[in-house]
């Protein structure tokens, strides 16, 4: 599954160069008003599934002491390194190509975060255990993802209807994902499943957010498209979890 996902993300990376990145936490401009990040200046950060490195540039531009990024895709990592080349030369940024399920040997981190990336994990228990080990006591773990209820509902015959079961957490294999010819593997989990996994890993849940859409210009005109504004007005498109490693 990891190999399939890596190959496919290498194929489609060019479609996500300007994907959602800090200070927003997802499509339709959500989350920038929630104040989820602490003071950035002087702190260390790790981004899980850093993509094209736009969030990393935002953090270094606001005084972050050190920012690490990791991503499965070589194409994504190459772009993130290009985009942050000066900060890399200055020793402020380090970007690694590896799966989130593989443990890194890095310094203790103040904040670990992910914008629409961590949900791709094929082994969430291992991923959460890794994140927990990276954080300093009292460190924050914040991540956003597609809301599973939103994914389960689609537009058909003039109505939005539930076409998938929210309770079905079977892995999904998407053939020819994004028209790139490859296969992508993903598992949509219930909110309770994600929360229980984080609690099992030792995290304290500080906040759970289902923000309303803000940037209507991102909406697609086709009502069957995933991020159509009418759908996003009725259902939460994004979920954001804010967690803390106990002192």
Across 8-17, b (16+ Cβ under 10 Å) vs e yields bbbbbbeebe
Percent of the chain with pLDDT over 90: 74
| Beta partners for residue 161, in sequence order | 154
Q: What does each C-alpha distance from 152 to 30, 57, 164, 179 come to in angstroms?
A: 20, 34, 5, 21
pLDDT tens per residue, range 83-99: 999 999 999 999 999 99
Residue-level pLDDT at 228: 84
Residue-level pLDDT at 151: 92
Q: Cα separation of 181 and 196, whole Å?
A: 35
Q: Cα separation of 136 and 246, whole Å?
A: 9
Other CB atoms closer than 10 Å to residue 144's CB: what's the count? 27
Q: Cα separation of 157 and 15, whole Å?
A: 29
List of E strands, the chain: 44-48, 66-71, 93-97, 109-115, 135-146, 153-156, 159-162, 172-175, 183-186, 204-209, 238-244
Other CB atoms closer than 10 Å to residue 107's CB: what's the count? 11
Residue-level pLDDT at 180: 64
pLDDT tens per residue, range 38-59: 999 999 999 999 999 999 999 9
| Centroid of chain to Cα 219 | 20
pLDDT tens per residue, range 165-199: 999 999 888 777 667 677 788 899 999 999 999 99
**Are the beta carbons of 69 and 53 closer than 8 angstroms?**
yes
Highest CATH level, class, for 2-244: alpha beta
Other CB atoms closer than 10 Å to residue 118's CB: what's the count? 23
Put simply, whether the predicted model's pTM sits higher than 0.85 gets the answer yes
Residue-level pLDDT at 222: 81
Read off the pLDDT band of 219 (50, 70, 90): low
Mean of pLDDT over the chain: 92
Q: Cα separation of 230 and 212, whole Å?
A: 11
For strand 66-71 and strand 238-244, is the pairing parallel, antiparallel, or unpaired?
A: unpaired
**Are the beta carbons of 164 and 186 closer than 8 angstroms?**
no
């Amino acid at each position: 599954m990891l190999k399939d996902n890596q190959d496919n993300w290498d194929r489609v990376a060019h479609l996500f160069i300007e994907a959602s990145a800090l200070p927003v936490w997802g499509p339709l401009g959500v989350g920038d008003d929630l104040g989820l990040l602490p003071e950035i200046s002087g702190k260390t950060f790790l981004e899980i599934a850093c993509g094209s490195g736009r969030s990393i540039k935002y953090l270094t531009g606001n005084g972050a002491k050190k920012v690490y990024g990791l991503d499965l895709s070589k194409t994504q990592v190459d772009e993130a390194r290009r985009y942050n080349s000066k900060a890399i030369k200055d020793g402020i940024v380090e970007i690694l190509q590896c799966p989130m399920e593989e443990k890194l040997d890095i310094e203790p981190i103040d904040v670990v975060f992910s914008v629409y990336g961590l949900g791709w994990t094929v082994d969430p228990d291992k991923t959460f255990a890794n994140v927990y080990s990276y954080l300093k006591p009292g460190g924050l773990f914040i991540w956003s993802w597609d809301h599973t209820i939103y994914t389960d509902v689609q537009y058909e015959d003039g109505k939005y209807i539930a076409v998938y079961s929210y309770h079905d957490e079977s892995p999904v294999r998407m053939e020819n994902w994004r028209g790139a010819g490859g296969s992508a593997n993903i598992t949509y989990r219930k909110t309770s499943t994600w929360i229980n996994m984080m609690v099992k890993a030792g995290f304290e849940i500080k906040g759970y957010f289902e923000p309303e859409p803000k940037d209507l210009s991102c909406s697609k005109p086709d009502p069957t498209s995933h991020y159509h504004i009418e759908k996003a007005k009725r259902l939460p498109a994004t979920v954001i979890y804010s967690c803390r490693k106990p002192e």
